[in-house]
Structure 1
Amino acid sequence: MSDPTVLLVDDEEELRLATAQALELQDLKVEPFATAEDVLTRISYGFSGVVVSDIRMEGMDGMTLLQRIREIDHDIPVILVTGHGDVQLAVKAMREGAYDFLEKPFAAPVLAGIIGRAMDRRALVLENRRLRAAAGKRDDIEVRLPGRTPIMVDLRYRLRAIGATDADTLIIGDTGTGKEVVALALHDISARAGRPFIVINCAALPETLIESELFGHEAGAFPGAMRPRYGKFEHGRGGTILLDEIGSLPIDLQAKFLRVLQERTITRLGSNESVALDVRFIATSKVDLEAEVAAGRFRPDLLYRLNVATLRVPSLAQRQADVPLLFLQLVREASARYGREPMDVPPEVISDIAERDWPGNVRELRNAADRLALGLDMRMGSAASDDERENIRLADKVGAFERQIIASTIAAHGGSLKPVYEQLGISRKTLYEKMQKYGLDKRLGIGEPEDG
């Protein structure tokens, strides 16, 4: 593979040469071009560099060049430059796949910084393709966990490194950051991808039946146990078990789970026989488990056992620069999910989104994207206007619409849930929560949805 190169396109010779010289002083390898057509002769699926192009040029302009490059390889970073301050054009460029957008005049170190991050991203894409080719797997991690900030690039890098192993993993992150998305991505790029992925919500397990739910039981193990039953641990054999919010496990059960981690065996209630357990465990937590250890609510030996491999999922406050593009992606997904036509998000909406705080993180941002796709007001708060109160009254209609979509999709797939949540673009956990909310099960009857 050739050294990473910046292909610089500008039909103004003086500016082109000055920019090239400034970037070379930033230790970047630059090839300047006067026309976009000439650049296309250098683009290939294995191109290891970055394209920087003026957006307004004679002949083929920057937007057309972007489209042509994406036809060859949609993962090649293209940075577009304009001197016209056209916000709408900037939004359009981002929506159509530009890596970034820079307005003239700009400082060379600023452009060099953007190029450096783009090159890091391109290097990861190419390396990941080589790994996929070697392993025979498809990897869509950047689609699942989008973001160009260094903290997200690092998360994806660490996720791929850990995913290639069979190590038990602890995922830390605030509410709504996407911890389950990270966990499922770990499973899907591992050697266990074709095996079960079992989600156990530790905070929602019924306290009186928690051991039976996890370990299973034999007939007669307790009143009402009429026949043997596999627990969730056994259902996950050969695959991955996600313990969501592990800090909610009762302290006495933590000791039993620690033994499972160490010995990789379980014993059903009412039995003396051990059952071998070939699984990978992933645990998530929104609370500081070290603080829980100090408070006596979490076992230190269990924390140390889980803490071998740790991934920290950043909040939106830690990656604010990702918010506009992430919102645009969520709007596209919401439009597809609700059967709406793709929409152009007004620049003023994107500016408002970028300036707002998102304490609920990606989950809250997704809700805002859903409301926009459905034509509802995105604003929240108790001081609602008459229009906002009217939108609230529309919530029941929206719920009925969503229920109809989920029910019809389940029916279309004959009760198989995996293709349902994949088609709807939601997580397995979200699908189960919505099925419970709307009283749906696999057979489209009324009642609790089943696992599986």
Structure 2
Amino acid sequence: MTENADDRTVLIVDDDPSMRAALRQWIRLAGFATVEVAGADEAMSRLSPDFDGCVVSDVKLEGDDGLELLRRIASRDTDLPVVLITGHGDVPMAVEAMRAGAYDFIEKPFDPDHIAEVVRRAADKRALVMENRALKKQLEEGAGLESRLIGNSPAMETLRQQILHFAKTDAAVLITGETGTGKEVIAQALHDFSLRSDGPFVAINAAALPEAMVEAELFGHEAGAFTGADRRHIGRIEAAHNGVLFLDEIVSMPLVLQPKLLRVLQESKVDRIGGTKSIDVNTRLVSASNLHPGEAVRSGRLREDLLFRLNTIELHVPPLRERGRDCLLLFDTFSNRLAVQYGIGAPGLSVRDEAFLQTYPWPGNVRELRNAAERFVLNAEVNPQPLEALVTGQREPSDPTRSTGLKDLMDEYERSLIENALRRHKGRVADVLRELNLPRRTLNEKMARHGLTREQAGPTETSET
């Protein structure tokens, strides 16, 4: 097994203090931690869904006996091993215990080595059950997240793994990425797959509020705190108690309020405007920015000390143009969902539409792509148009004889792939060669044929390997 015995606990249930002491000594010598209780009710109060060991109980107990305790445990968790001990055992009792789900049945007097071995096997079985449950939960969570963050590109697979991992912590998260990449979807996922999922998810966009309203919305106010404040208002931070607060466009928060937010993060207390006492808050902060946080600090829009509190974990969402064929999968998913929503048939894509999907830079990212899918679905039956015309507005002359050959489409797609790779790697040809799996000479020939240069991709490095 992957777990050490020292990581697992044995719950000892016996109303005889001397027997509890003996069992404690033998089981601890076998390498397990122990918890000892005298009766069934107290035993049930110590058992949680993630209890990682096994139960060793005497059959003769005051109140509910060991067999009844076994039934109560089985009704809560059939996979929790229970070992029963008795000095008055007989064959019918042993049969009844095993039928009720006992892992094993041991008669007094017993060999300490024997009970240690039984406990070890029972704990190993429990460890396997817990590992399988954890794996099943991970698979279910992964599948659930895949339906929200659609994409098979390596960048998206990595992002989903990071979300599931960091969701289990309470550390502050800063999500960076261009407009329309789905930062709020990620923030919601960090809440939904966390231990705070039963708590509130409270979102506020700092850029969408007038500056004068940001403080009152975030921190709240008491009645009479200012003109028009005729009643107490609970701020978003306080409303997110025991949950997650999502601050979108964090760099748009007024500088004068940033120290106040920093105090909330440092001390877990919030001060309402006009209030006389601080209020304890327990909230996890997730923030987002479409501007690089370092640039926000350099431009004076974000305090550096606040940034250090915001980006304990930093998640970057790649733009759609860097996600390869994800745009096809996303468009197909959106088209089918929207067709169902509107009660119409989902139209198919032409070869030219597919080529456009993969070569267009999608400056509005996933948000723009979804809008394009909606327009494509709604226009398909009454006003069918090429996807390019719907997205760019560039209408072509109606010429049924005009067509774009496969070679032209492939050339356009190839040029887009190389151009995007050069931009992604800032002109570092060695990195482009690795990504596209091309020999240097072939890449040079293709760049020349398509009129591409390293300088078009932005700043370049002076040396390569």
TM-score normalised to structure 2 length:
0.53
Equivalence map 1:51-450=2 (5 Å): 130-131=134-135, 133=137, 140-375=144-379, 377=385, 378=387, 379=389, 380-381=391-392, 383-384=394-395
Amino acid of the structure 1 residue aligned with 2:273: L
Any conservation in 2 of the 1:315–1:361 contact (CA below 8 Å)?
yes
CA distance in 2, matches of 1:382, 1:354: 18
CA distance in 1, matches of 2:369, 2:199: 32
Look up the SS of the partner of 1:228 in the other structure: coil
Look up the SS of the partner of 1:369 in the other structure: helix
TM-score normalised to structure 1 length:
0.54
CA distance in 2, matches of 1:137, 1:194: 16
Amino acid of the structure 2 residue aligned with 1:337: Q
Any conservation in 2 of the 1:266–1:276 contact (CA below 8 Å)?
yes
Amino acid of the structure 2 residue aligned with 1:309: I
What is the CA distance between 1:386 and its match in structure 2? 9.3
CA distance in 2, matches of 1:148, 1:163: 21
Do the aligned partners of residues 194 and 341 (structure 1) sit closer, same or farther apart at CA in structure 2, a change above 3 Å counting? farther
Look up the SS of the partner of 1:320 in the other structure: coil
Do the aligned partners of residues 134 and 356 (structure 1) sit closer, same or farther apart at CA in structure 2, a change above 3 Å counting? closer
CA distance in 1, matches of 2:352, 2:234: 54
Amino acid of the structure 2 residue aligned with 1:244: D
Do the aligned partners of residues 316 and 134 (structure 1) sit closer, same or farther apart at CA in structure 2, a change above 3 Å counting? closer
Do the aligned partners of residues 386 and 215 (structure 1) sit closer, same or farther apart at CA in structure 2, a change above 3 Å counting? farther
Any conservation in 2 of the 1:139–1:189 contact (CA below 8 Å)?
no
Amino acid of the structure 1 residue aligned with 2:232: P
What is the CA distance between 1:350 and its match in structure 2? 2.1
What is the CA distance between 1:191 and its match in structure 2? 1.0
Any conservation in 2 of the 1:241–1:279 contact (CA below 8 Å)?
yes
CA distance in 2, matches of 1:332, 1:383: 26
Any conservation in 1 of the 2:181–2:320 contact (CA below 8 Å)?
yes
What is the CA distance between 1:131 and its match in structure 2? 4.5
Look up the SS of the partner of 2:325 in the other structure: helix
CA distance in 1, matches of 2:280, 2:139: 27
CA distance in 1, matches of 2:199, 2:211: 28
What is the CA distance between 1:313 and its match in structure 2? 0.4
Q: Which residue of 2 aligns with 1:394?
A: none
CA distance in 1, matches of 2:178, 2:303: 21
Any conservation in 2 of the 1:187–1:193 contact (CA below 8 Å)?
yes
CA distance in 1, matches of 2:166, 2:141: 16
Q: Deviations over 1:53-104 (max 9, x none)?
A: xxxxxxxxxxxxxxxxxxxxxxxxxxxxxxxxxxxxxxxxxxxxxxxxxxxx
Any conservation in 2 of the 1:132–1:139 contact (CA below 8 Å)?
no
Any conservation in 1 of the 2:264–2:270 contact (CA below 8 Å)?
yes
Amino acid of the structure 2 residue aligned with 1:365: L
Structure 1 residue ranges without an equivalent (≥5): 1-126, 388-452
CA distance in 2, matches of 1:197, 1:373: 33
Q: Which residue of 2 aligns with 1:31?
A: none
Look up the SS of the partner of 1:200 in the other structure: strand
Amino acid of the structure 1 residue aligned with 2:181: T
CA distance in 2, matches of 1:282, 1:128: 31
What is the CA distance between 1:234 and its match in structure 2? 1.5
Amino acid of the structure 2 residue aligned with 1:231: G
Q: Deviations over 1:388-417 (max 9, x none)?
A: xxxxxxxxxxxxxxxxxxxxxxxxxxxxxx
Identity of aligned residues (%): 43
Do the aligned partners of residues 132 and 280 (structure 1) sit closer, same or farther apart at CA in structure 2, a change above 3 Å counting? farther
Q: Which residue of 1 aligns with 2:402?
A: none
Any conservation in 2 of the 1:266–1:277 contact (CA below 8 Å)?
yes
CA distance in 2, matches of 1:186, 1:128: 23
What is the CA distance between 1:366 and its match in structure 2? 0.7
Give the structure with higher Rg (CA): 2
CA distance in 2, matches of 1:128, 1:148: 26
Amino acid of the structure 2 residue aligned with 1:256: K
Do the aligned partners of residues 279 and 339 (structure 1) sit closer, same or farther apart at CA in structure 2, a change above 3 Å counting? farther
Any conservation in 2 of the 1:196–1:235 contact (CA below 8 Å)?
yes
Any conservation in 2 of the 1:132–1:138 contact (CA below 8 Å)?
no
Structure 2 residue ranges without an equivalent (≥5): 1-130, 399-465
Any conservation in 1 of the 2:142–2:164 contact (CA below 8 Å)?
no
Any conservation in 2 of the 1:239–1:280 contact (CA below 8 Å)?
yes
Amino acid of the structure 2 residue aligned with 1:227: R
Where do 4+ consecutive residues of structure 1 move more than 6 Å?
134-138
Look up the SS of the partner of 1:303 in the other structure: helix
Any conservation in 1 of the 2:179–2:365 contact (CA below 8 Å)?
yes
Do the aligned partners of residues 174 and 138 (structure 1) sit closer, same or farther apart at CA in structure 2, a change above 3 Å counting? closer
Q: Which residue of 2 aligns with 1:412?
A: none
Q: Which residue of 1 aligns with 2:16?
A: none
CA distance in 2, matches of 1:184, 1:160: 12
